[in-house]
Amino acid sequence: MSVPAPDADLGGPAQPLLAVRGLFRHFPIRGGLFNRTTATVQAVDGIDFDVVKGETLGIVGESGCGKSTTARLLVRLLDPDRGELVYDGLPVGTQDGLSLREMRRHVQMVFQDSFASLNPRLTVADSIAFGPRVHGVPAAEATARARDLLARVGLAPDAFGRRYPHELSGGQRQRVNIARALALRPRLVILDEAVSALDKSVEAQVLNLLQDLKAEFGLTYVFISHDLNVVRYISDRVLVMYLGRIVEIGPVDAIYGAPRHPYTRALLSAMPSMDPDRRTLEAPIAGDPPNPINPPPGCRFHTRCPFAADVCRTRMPELVAAPVAHGHLAACHMADPASGHPQAETAA
């Protein structure tokens, strides 16, 4: 039997709100004479991480690195091939764990395309009220909740409630999408490139709104973006992905201040900076990411890495903790004293 979802906190602040364990998701590519599977895209290829209660975890990486697939796996819009999600100590979707339906009351998502994520035939109030209605909230109460949320995301309910999505601006629509995600009173919100399509000025307003809502409702965020500046601004911790795998994870200051993985360093160096003193001289990454259909063996970054050694071409590096900084892990042979890489850090 699955247990009903607890509305209150279960395991205390030390227990991760969401634990991701060994998540895999490959997509088959069909073709050939009889539509057989001819190849697989290894979109997400074995990732482990925790989302700590109350934090904002940023996920960054180039397009095609598996960020969006990860987002969809976290809300179970996609089923993983392998691996599990543990929500506040309760395994999701198993016999004795949390049912998917219950989990979805607690984990919600905001999508990138503000227009495509609203039904054009419903008024925005109806779109927001839909989730609560599904979970048995009476119509009047659901509408009241929708109006309340509209006000909280900065849209006057009387002026906007009865409008249709095409009658709103992109920023207004994304506010509606945020309100819709909050309508089920979730504890965790996955923001998949939620501000990426907005103008810079609107983006800042929505980011501030997200910060306010987080404090107001005691939310936890997973914030996915390709924009390193935005991630730095909003995140407590940052996770860097490359071709379906985590290459580095750690506190935001550690990642931006002392990146340990060459890929992270290259990403950061490609980031435009206003301050000449902070411009690095490190070479930007050359070329496009390798095809995720046929990822290279060993470390996936070795084809573009200036420090690639023999070990990088043969063995896949594991996430290794930094000797000093707590909770800062990198999947690079150079970070592992025992890897045999000629430039490996020596044990402290």
Partner 1 sequence: MLQYLLRRFVYAIPIALGVSVVCFALVHISPGDPLASVLPPDASLEMQQIMRQVYGFDRPLPVQFGFWLWRALAGDLGVSIATGRPVAGEVWHAFGNTFMLAALAAAFGFSAGALLGLVAGYWRGGWIDRLASTLSIAGISVPHYWLGMVLAIVFSVQLNWLPATGAGPGGSADWTWDWAHVRFLVLPALTMSVIPLGIVARSVRALVGDILSQEFVDALRAKGLPESGIFLHILKNAAPTSLAVMGLQLGYLLGGSILIETVFAWPGTGFLLGNAILQRDLPLLQGTILVLAMFFVVLNLLVDVAQTWLDPRIKRA
Partner 2 sequence: MSELAGPARGYWSNVLRRLMRDRVALACILVLAVILLAAIFAPLVAPGDPFRASMLRRLRPIGTPGNLLGTDELGRDMLTRLIYGGRLSLFTGIVPVINAFAIGTFLGVFAGYSGGRANMAIMRTIDVFYAFPSVLLAIAISGALGAGIFNSIVSLTVVFVPPIARVAESVTTQVRSLDFVDAARASGAGALTIIRVHILGNVLGPVFVYATGLVSVSMILASGLSFLGLGTKPPEAEWGLMLNTLRTAIYAQPLVAALPGAMIFAVSICFNLFSDGLRQAMDVKL
Residue 27 binding partner 2, by CB under 8 A? no
Residue 285 binding partner 2, by CB under 8 A? no
Question: Which pair of tokens denotes residue 74?
Answer: 């976290």
With respect to partner 2, which residue has the nearer C-beta, 172 or 235?
Answer: 172
Interface with partner 2: number of residues (CB under 8 A): 38
Instruction: Look at residue 31 and give the partner it binds from partner 1, partner 2, none, a contact being a CB closer than 5 to 8 Å depending on partner kind.
Output: partner 1
What DSSP string runs through 41-108? EEEEEEEEEEE-TT-EEEEE--TTSSHHHHHHHHTTSS--SEEEEEETTEEBTSTTSB-HHHHHHHEE
With respect to partner 2, which residue has the nearer C-beta, 44 or 125?
Answer: 125
User: Tokens 């379906």 — which residue?
Assistant: 244
With respect to partner 1, which residue has the nearer C-beta, 33 or 159?
Answer: 33
* Residue 77 near residue 110, CB atoms below 8 Å: no
With respect to partner 2, which residue has the nearer C-beta, 187 or 333?
Answer: 187
Triad 221, 53, 173: Cα angle to 5° = 20
Residues 9-68 contacting partner 1, CB under 8 A: 31-34
Least Cα distance to 203 among 213, 188, 218, 193 occurs for 193
Closest separation in Å from C-beta 102 to partner 2: 8
Residues 172-191 contacting partner 2, CB under 8 A: 172, 177, 180-181, 183-184
Site string for partner 2, 118-157 (x = CB under 8 A): xxxxxx---x--xx--xx--------------------x-
Residues 62-101 contacting partner 1, CB under 8 A: none
Instruction: Look at residue 116 and give the partner it binds from partner 1, partner 2, none, a contact being a CB closer than 5 to 8 Å depending on partner kind.
Output: partner 2
Instruction: Look at residue 111 and give the partner it binds from partner 2, partner 1, none, a contact being a CB closer than 5 to 8 Å depending on partner kind.
Output: partner 2
Closest separation in Å from C-beta 84 to partner 2: 18
With respect to partner 2, which residue has the nearer C-beta, 132 or 295?
Answer: 132
Residue 62 binding partner 2, by CB under 8 A? no
β-pairing, 36-51 vs 18-31, is: antiparallel
Residue 100 binding partner 2, by CB under 8 A? yes
Question: Which pair of tokens denotes residue 27?
Answer: 């997509």
Distance in angstroms (rounded) separating the CA atoms of residues 112 and 197: 7
* Residue 248 near residue 322, CB atoms below 8 Å: no
Distance in angstroms (rounded) separating the CA atoms of residues 5 and 106: 8
In b/e form, how buried is each residue of 106-144, taking b as 16+ CB within 10 angstroms? bbbbbbbebeebbeeeebbbbbbbbbbbeeebeeeebbe
With respect to partner 2, which residue has the nearer C-beta, 200 or 326?
Answer: 200
Q: Please give the residue ranges that form the binding site for partner 2 (CB under 8 A).
A: 72, 75, 77, 100-101, 104-105, 108-109, 111-113, 116-123, 127, 130-131, 134-135, 156, 159, 162-164, 167, 169, 172, 177, 180-181, 183-184
Binding site for partner 1 (CB under 8 A): 31-34
